[in-house]
C-alpha cells in the first residue's frame, strides 16, 4: 500500500509541477461551464428574425413596428439600412422590411403608402416573415381599406354621385370612423387552450453544462492515462521497475489510483462550483453523487488504461485521448441534450460510458433523484470499468 | 526568397509526417464533424434547422362557408411547404395527438361558426360568438406561433369582411344610394370582396423584392464542418509555433542563424510554413468533407480565398503565442487552451448568436468567428463580394498580430527565444 501511495504522490507532484496544469484542471472547465451554461439550450425566443429599417420614423411606422413585436412568429429588430442590407446580402437574415420616408397616415389614406419587403429566395423563414407582416398590415390598414371600399362602392352605384369633394370626404370620414369603431368592438372569435403536453426534453442549460463539462474535463485527462503509460514505456522507466520488487498490480494500482483520486478532487471542485456559484442542486443525495463520481472516474481511468496498451507513443496517446474524450463527450450528450439526437443515435450512444455518466449526473442535478435513481447508471459504469481494466491488464506490457 | 520557401516546405513536410499531430489536425475534426452530423440528424436526413411541414390537425364541425374556407386555406398550395394539415372528425383523438406531442396544434371549428359571423337570411347575430379553438402544444412554441399567425390573419380577414359589408351597407342606406331591399345582397357581396382582399392591404402596398440567386437549403454540416476545421486550425498554428521553440531548445534555430540566412528569412520561413500547414489542413478537410459528405462549401474561388485568409489570421495568433512563450511545453498547453477557448467563443461548439452580447463582441478576436461567418455566407449561396468583411477582418487580425510579434521578437532576438 505504501508503494501505491508513493506512486500516487510522484504522479501528482509531476503533474502539478507546471502551473499550467491548473488551466486544464479547474480554470478551463469552469470557463466552459459558465459559457455553455449561459449560451446553450432551447432559446427563449426562437421566432424568425425580421430586420426592420424605419426610415419614416412616424407614429404610424412606430405603430407598425410595435404591432410586429407582438407577433408570435417573427422577432422584429430595428436596424440601420446599411447594416440590414449588408447582412441581408451576406445571407445572415432571411427578410428585411424597409419602411420608406413616405410612409405616413396621409399616404395610407390616399392609397399611396408603400413598404418594401426583401426576401431570400425560396426561404421558409422569409415566407413566415411575409405572413406575419401581411397579418400586421391587414390589422393596421383594414379600417382605411373598408372606408376606401365604401366610397368606391357608392361611386359605382348608378344614379349616385357625390355633390362635391367635401361631401365625398365626409362620406369617407364617416365610413372610416364607423369601421374603426366596429373593429374595436369586434368580438373575440378565437380561443386558445394550452395542452398539458410533457416536454420531451428535460433541459436546464446550467445543470446540463455543469454535468456535461464535469464529465468532459475529467474523461479527457483520465483517458490520457494512456499517455502516461506510453511515456514511461518510451523512456524505459517501466523496464527499470522490473529490477525493483514492484509487481504489475502495484504499479498499475498506484498509477490508476493517483489519477482517479485527482479526478475525484477535480470533480468535487466542479460540483462545489455548481452548488455555490451556479446554485445547482448537486448535494441533495451524497450517496448518489459519490456513486456516480467514483464509477465515472473508474470507467474513464479504465478506458485510459486499455488505450495505453494500444498506442505506441506519448504523442499518439495525447492526440487520441483528446479526440476520443471530445467525441465521446459530445456523443454522450455532455454538450447538447441527448433528447435532441435522432432516435437511432440515442440507442447507439448507449455503448459509450459518457452517455451513462451524463444520464446519472442529470438524474442527480436536474431530476433530483437519489441512489435508487442512479444505481443502474453507476452499475453500468462499473461494468465498463471492469471490462476495460481486464483488457488493459491482460494486454499491459513493460516494454 | 528560395530559402524562405525551403524552410516553409521543410516545416510543412515535418507536420504532415508527424502521426500524432495528424490525429488532431485531420482525424479529430473529421471525427467531431461526423459526430455532430450524427447527433443533428444530418446523415439520417432528420435535421431540424428550420420550420417546415408543421403538423396540424383540423376538426371542422361547422361545415359552413367560413369553416370550409379555413380548411381550404390551411391546405392551400401557398402553405403546403410550411404546414402539414390533417383533417380529422374525432376531436378527442385530435387532442390526444397534441397531448402525446405528435402534432403542433388542433384547430377546432365548432358547429355554427359561419352562422355566428354571417347569420343566415332572416336570422340575427348570436349574442355570444361561436369561437374557433386553437388547442396548442406548449413544447413547440415556434410551430404554434406560425399556426397562430396564419389563423389570426384568417380571422382578421373574416372580421374585415363582416365589418366591411356592414359599413358599406350602412353608409349607402344613410346616403340613400340604395334601399333596404338591396341591402342584404350588397352587404354579402361587399363582405366577400373585403374578406378576399383583406390579406392584401389596398391602402398599404407591400413591394416584395426577392434576392437574386437560387434556392439554397442550408446544410447544417456547412456550419459544423468549418467550425471544427477552424478550431483545429488553431491547434495546427500553435503546433507550428511550438516547432520553433523546439528548434530553439534543440539548438537548430541558432545554428540556422550562423548560416548565410538572415533572421527575417528564418522567421519568414517559419511563419510561411505555419501558414502553409494551416491552409493545407483546411483544404484537405474541405476536400474530404466535399467528397465524403457531398458538402457544398459554396463558390470555390471564394472558399479558397477565405481559407487563405483564415489560415493567415490563425497564423498571426500562432506566431504571437510563440513570441510570448518560452518553452515547447508552454506552447503545447497554452496552444491547446487557446484552441478550445477560441472554439467555444468563435462558434465551433454552439452558434455565437445564441450567446450573450458581450461574448459575441469578444468572439471577434478569434479567427473562428470571422471564418465561420464567411463560410456560412458562402454555404448559403453568397459570393466573394459578400465575404469581404470576414476576409478584411482576418487580414487585419493577421497584420496586427504579426506587427506585435515582430516587435517582441526584435526585442528578445529570434535565436534567443
Mutate to test the interface with B, among A323, A352, A354 (most CBs of B within 10 A): A323
Per the domain annotation, does A192 fall within a domain?
A: no
Structural domain boundaries in chain B: 2-45+218-416, 54-197
Inform me whether the C-beta atom of residue A34 falls under 8 Å from chain B C-beta atoms. Answer: no
Same domain, A37 and A53: no
Q: What residues have CB less than 8 Å from B225, skipping those under 6 apart?
A: B29, B33, B285, B286, B289, B293, B295
ipTM over 0.95: no
- Round to whole Å and give the CA distance between B306 and B388: 9
| Strand pairing category for B54-60 and B105-109 | parallel
Yes or no: say if B147 and B83 are a contact pair by the CB < 8 Å rule: yes
Write out pLDDT tens, residues B71-118.
988 988 878 878 899 999 999 999 999 998 889 899 999 998 888 887
* Strand ranges (E), chain A: 48-54, 74-78, 95-99, 113-119, 190-194
Query: Taking CB atoms and an 8 Å limit, are B204 and A148 in contact across chains?
Result: no
- The verdict on A240 and A353 lying in the same domain is yes
Residue B60: pLDDT band with limits 50, 70, 90: very high
Q: Could you tell me if A221 and A320 lie in one domain?
A: yes
Using an 8 Å Cβ cutoff, are B321 and B338 in contact? Answer: yes
- Whether residue A368 sits in one domain with residue A281: yes
CA–CA dist B96, B115 (Å, integer): 29
Chain B residues with beta carbon closer than 8 angstroms to that of A39: 350, 354-356, 359
**A369-392 residue pLDDT tens:** 899 999 999 999 999 999 999 998
DSSP string, A184-225: HTPPP-EEEEE--PPPS----HHHHHHHHHHHHHHHHHHHTH
Chain B 363-402, residues with CB within 8 Å of chain A CB atoms: 373, 376-377, 380-382, 385-387, 389
DSSP assignment of A355-379 equals: HHHHHHHHHHHTT---HHHHHHHHH
- E strand or H helix at B134: strand B132-136
CB-based contact A128 B41, cutoff 8 Å:
no
| DSSP per-residue codes, B58-112 | EEE---SHHHHHHHHHHTSGGGTTTEEEEEES-HHHHHHHHHTTSSSEEEEE-TT
Among A128, A138, A161, A133, CA closest to A68: A133
| pLDDT the model gives residue B166 | 86
Task: Say if the Cβ atoms of B163 and A118 lie within 8 Å.
Answer: no
CB < 8 Å to A336, chain B: 39
**B100 contact residues in A (CB cutoff 8 A):** 197
Is A197 close to B137, i.e. CB distance below 8 A? yes
How much of chain B is in helix, strand and coil states, percent to nearest 5?
70, 5, 25
Query: Is the CB of B344 less than 8 angstroms away from the CB of A35?
Result: yes
CB-CB: which of B18, B211, B349 is closest to A119?
B211
Indicate whether A238 and A134 sit together in one domain: no
Rounded to whole angstroms, how far apart are CA atoms A23 and A15? 12
CATH of the domain at A125: 3.40.190
Which of A144-174 are b and which e, b meaning 16 or more Cβ less than 10 Å from the residue's Cβ? bbbbbbbbebbeeeeeeebeeeeeeeebbeb
Q: One digit per residue, pLDDT tens: chain A, 399 residues?
A: 777 788 878 778 877 777 877 888 888 899 988 888 876 555 556 678 899 999 988 888 888 888 888 777 788 999 999 999 888 887 778 899 999 998 887 787 777 888 999 888 767 678 778 888 887 887 778 888 888 888 888 888 887 888 888 888 888 888 888 888 888 888 888 888 888 887 666 678 889 899 999 999 999 888 888 888 888 777 777 777 767 777 777 877 888 888 899 999 999 999 999 999 988 989 889 999 999 999 999 999 999 889 888 887 877 788 888 888 888 998 998 988 887 788 788 888 999 999 999 999 999 998 888 999 999 999 999 999 999 999 988 887 766
Residue B49's pLDDT band, with cuts at 50, 70 and 90, is very low
Task: Determine the Cα–Cα distance for residues B406 and B267; give it in Å rounded to an integer.
Answer: 9
Alpha-carbon separation of residue A82 from A88, A89, A100, A139 (angstroms): 10, 11, 14, 29
Q: What is the residue range of A152's domain? A: 48-184
A152 has a chain B CB within 8 A of its CB: no
Cβ of B131 within 8 Å of Cβ of A88? The answer is no
A137 touches chain B (CB under 8 A): yes
Instruction: Tell me: do A104 and A236 sit in the same domain.
Output: no
- A109 lies in a domain? yes
Look at residue B91 in the predicted model and tell me its pLDDT: 92
State the total domains in chain A: 2
Shared-domain flag, residues A37 and A78: no
d(C-alpha A356, C-alpha A341), whole Å: 15
Residue B329 in contact with partner chain A when CB distance is under 8 A: yes
Residue B217's pLDDT is 61
State mean pLDDT over B233-238.
89
Residue contacts between A and B (CB atoms, under 8 Å):
346
C-alpha cell read off for A158: 348608378
| Residue whose grid cell is 390579406 | B199
The domain defined by B54-197 carries CATH number 3.40.1710: yes
Question: What confidence score (pLDDT) does residue B48 get?
Answer: 47
Q: Does B15 touch chain A (CB under 8 A)?
A: no
Closest to B408 measured CA to CA, from B338, B296, B319, B282: B319
Q: Are residues A321 and A379 in the same domain?
A: yes
- Residue B135 belongs to what H/E stretch? strand B132-136
pLDDT > 90: percent of chain A: 27
Q: Which of A144, A195, A318 comes nearest B203 by C-beta?
A: A144
Using the CB atoms, write b or e for A69-88: b if 16+ within 10 Å.
eebbbbbbbebeeeebbebb
- Which of B72-76, B192-196, B397-401, B405-409 has the highest mean predicted lDDT (pLDDT)? B397-401
User: How far is the CA of B291 from the CAs of B286, B294, B303, in angstroms?
Assistant: 8, 5, 16
pLDDT computed for residue B218 by the predictor:
63
Distance from CA of B333 to the nearest CA of A (A): 7
Residues A164 and A107 in one domain: yes
**Pair (A118, A209) in one structural domain:** no
pLDDT tier at B183, thresholds 50, 70, 90: confident
Q: Measure in Å the smallest separation between the Cα of B258 and chain A Cα atoms.
A: 31
Same domain membership, residue A115 and residue A95: yes
Q: Which residues of B touch A188 (CB under 8 A)?
A: 129, 131
Interchain pair A157, B382: CB under 8 A: no
Q: How confident is the model at residue B417 (pLDDT cuts 50, 70, 90)?
A: very low
Query: CB count, 10 Å around CB of B403?
Result: 12
- Whether A160 and A253 map to the same domain: the answer is no
Cβ(A52)–Cβ(A65) under 8 Å?
A: yes
Candidates B118, B164, B376, B388: best to mutate against A (most CBs of A within 10 A) is: B164
Residues A338, A358: contact at Cβ < 8 Å?
A: yes
**Nearest to A144, CA basis, from A62, A72, A58, A60:** A60
A260 touches chain B (CB under 8 A): no
State pLDDT tens for residues B281-333. Answer: 999 999 998 888 888 888 899 999 999 999 999 999 999 998 888 888 788 88
C-alpha cell at B175: 346616403
Q: Under an 8 A CB cutoff, do A189 and B345 touch?
A: no
Closest CA to B119 of B177, B176, B166, B180: B166
Amino acid at each position: 500500500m505504501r508503494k501505491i501511495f508513493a506512486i500516487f504522490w510522484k504522479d501528482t507532484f509531476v503533474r502539478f509541477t507546471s502551473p499550467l496544469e491548473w488551466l486544464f484542471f479547474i480554470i478551463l472547465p469552469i470557463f466552459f461551464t459558465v459559457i455553455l451554461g449561459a449560451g446553450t439550450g432551447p432559446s427563449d425566443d426562437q421566432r424568425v428574425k425580421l430586420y426592420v429599417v424605419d426610415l419614416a420614423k412616424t407614429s404610424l411606422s412606430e405603430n407598425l413596428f410595435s404591432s410586429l413585436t407582438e407577433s408570435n412568429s417573427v422577432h422584429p429588430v430595428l436596424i440601420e439600412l446599411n447594416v440590414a442590407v449588408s447582412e441581408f446580402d451576406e445571407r445572415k437574415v432571411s427578410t428585411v422590411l424597409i419602411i420608406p420616408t413616405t410612409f405616413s397616415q396621409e399616404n395610407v389614406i390616399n392609397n399611396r403608402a408603400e413598404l418594401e419587403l426583401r426576401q431570400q429566395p425560396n426561404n421558409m423563414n422569409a415566407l413566415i416573415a411575409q405572413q406575419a407582416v401581411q397579418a400586421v398590415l391587414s390589422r393596421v390598414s383594414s379600417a382605411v381599406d373598408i372606408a376606401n371600399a365604401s366610397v368606391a362602392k357608392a361611386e359605382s352605384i348608378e344614379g349616385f354621385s357625390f355633390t362635391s369633394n367635401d361631401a365625398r370626404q365626409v362620406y369617407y370620414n364617416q365610413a372610416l370612423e364607423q369601421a374603426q369603431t366596429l373593429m374595436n368592438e369586434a368580438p373575440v372569435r378565437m380561443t386558445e387552450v394550452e395542452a398539458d403536453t410533457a416536454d420531451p426534453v428535460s433541459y436546464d442549460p446550467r445543470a446540463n453544462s455543469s454535468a456535461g463539462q464535469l464529465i468532459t474535463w475529467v474523461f479527457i485527462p483520465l483517458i490520457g492515462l494512456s499517455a502516461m503509460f506510453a511515456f514511461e514505456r518510451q523512456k524505459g522507466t517501466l523496464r527499470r521497475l522490473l529490477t525493483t520488487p514492484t509487481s504489475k498490480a502495484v504499479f498499475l494500482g498506484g498509477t490508476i489510483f493517483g489519477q482517479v483520486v485527482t479526478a475525484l478532487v477535480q470533480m468535487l471542485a466542479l460540483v462545489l462550483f455548481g452548488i455555490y456559484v451556479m446554485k445547482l442542486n448537486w448535494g441533495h443525495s451524497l450517496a448518489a453523487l459519490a456513486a456516480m463520481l467514483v464509477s465515472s472516474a473508474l470507467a474513464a481511468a479504465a478506458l485510459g488504461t486499455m488505450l495505453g496498451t494500444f498506442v505506441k507513443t506519448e504523442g499518439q496517446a495525447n492526440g487520441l485521448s483528446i479526440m476520443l474524450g471530445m467525441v465521446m463527450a459530445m456523443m454522450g450528450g455532455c454538450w447538447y441534450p441527448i433528447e435532441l439526437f435522432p432516435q437511432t443515435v440515442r440507442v447507439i450512444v448507449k455503448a459509450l460510458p459518457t452517455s451513462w455518466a451524463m444520464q446519472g449526473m442529470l438524474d442527480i442535478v436536474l431530476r433530483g433523484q437519489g441512489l435508487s435513481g442512479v444505481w443502474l447508471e453507476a452499475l453500468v459504469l462499473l461494468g465498463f470499468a471492469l471490462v476495460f481494466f481486464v483488457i488493459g491488464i491482460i494486454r499491459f506490457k513493460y516494454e | 526568397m528560395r530559402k524562405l520557401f525551403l524552410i516553409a516546405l521543410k516545416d510543412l513536410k515535418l507536420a504532415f509526417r508527424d502521426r500524432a499531430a495528424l490525429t488532431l489536425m485531420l482525424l479529430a475534426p473529421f471525427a467531431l464533424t461526423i459526430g455532430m452530423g450524427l447527433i443533428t440528424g444530418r446523415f439520417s436526413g432528420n435535421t431540424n434547422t428550420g420550420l417546415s411541414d408543421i403538423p396540424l390537425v383540423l376538426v371542422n364541425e361547422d361545415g359552413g362557408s367560413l369553416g370550409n374556407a379555413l380548411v381550404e386555406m390551411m391546405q392551400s398550395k401557398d402553405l403546403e411547404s410550411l404546414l402539414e394539415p390533417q383533417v380529422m372528425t374525432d376531436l378527442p383523438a385530435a387532442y390526444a395527438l397534441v397531448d402525446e406531442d405528435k402534432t403542433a396544434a388542433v384547430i377546432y371549428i365548432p358547429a355554427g361558426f359561419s352562422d355566428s359571423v354571417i347569420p343566415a337570411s332572416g336570422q340575427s347575430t348570436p349574442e355570444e360568438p361561436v369561437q374557433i379553438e386553437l388547442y396548442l402544444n406548449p413544447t413547440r412554441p415556434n410551430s404554434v406561433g406560425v399556426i397562430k399567425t396564419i389563423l389570426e390573419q384568417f380571422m382578421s380577414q373574416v372580421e374585415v369582411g363582416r365589418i366591411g359589408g356592414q359599413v358599406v351597407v350602412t353608409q349607402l342606406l344613410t346616403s340613400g344610394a340604395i334601399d333596404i331591399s338591396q341591402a342584404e345582397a350588397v352587404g354579402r357581396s361587399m363582405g366577400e370582396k373585403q374578406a378576399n382582399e383583406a390579406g392584401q392591404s389596398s391602402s398599404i402596398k407591400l413591394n416584395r423584392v426577392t434576392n437574386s440567386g437560387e434556392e439554397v437549403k442550408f446544410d447544417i454540416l456547412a456550419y459544423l464542418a468549418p467550425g471544427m476545421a477552424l478550431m483545429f486550425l488553431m491547434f495546427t498554428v500553435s503546433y507550428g509555433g511550438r516547432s520553433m521553440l523546439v528548434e530553439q531548445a534543440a539548438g537548430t534555430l541558432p545554428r540556422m542563424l550562423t548560416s548565410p540566412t538572415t533572421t527575417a528569412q528564418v522567421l519568414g520561413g517559419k511563419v510561411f510554413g505555419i501558414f502553409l500547414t494551416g491552409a493545407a489542413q483546411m483544404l484537405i478537410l474541405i476536400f474530404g468533407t466535399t467528397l465524403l459528405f457531398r458538402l457544398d462549401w459554396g463558390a470555390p474561388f471564394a472558399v479558397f480565398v477565405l481559407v487563405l485568409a483564415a489560415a493567415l489570421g490563425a497564423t498571426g495568433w500562432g506566431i504571437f503565442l510563440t513570441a510570448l512563450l518560452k518553452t515547447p511545453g508552454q506552447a503545447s498547453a497554452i496552444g491547446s487552451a487557446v484552441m478550445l477557448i477560441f472554439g467555444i467563443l468563435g462558434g465551433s461548439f454552439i452558434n455565437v448568436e445564441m450567446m450573450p452580447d458581450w461574448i459575441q463582441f469578444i468572439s471577434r478576436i478569434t479567427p473562428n468567428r470571422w471564418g465561420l461567418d464567411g463560410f456560412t455566407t458562402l454555404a448559403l449561396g453568397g459570393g466573394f463580394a459578400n465575404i469581404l468583411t470576414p476576409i478584411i477582418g482576418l487580414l487585419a487580425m493577421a497584420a496586427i498580430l504579426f506587427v506585435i510579434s515582430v516587435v517582441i521578437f526584435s526585442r528578445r532576438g529570434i535565436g534567443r527565444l
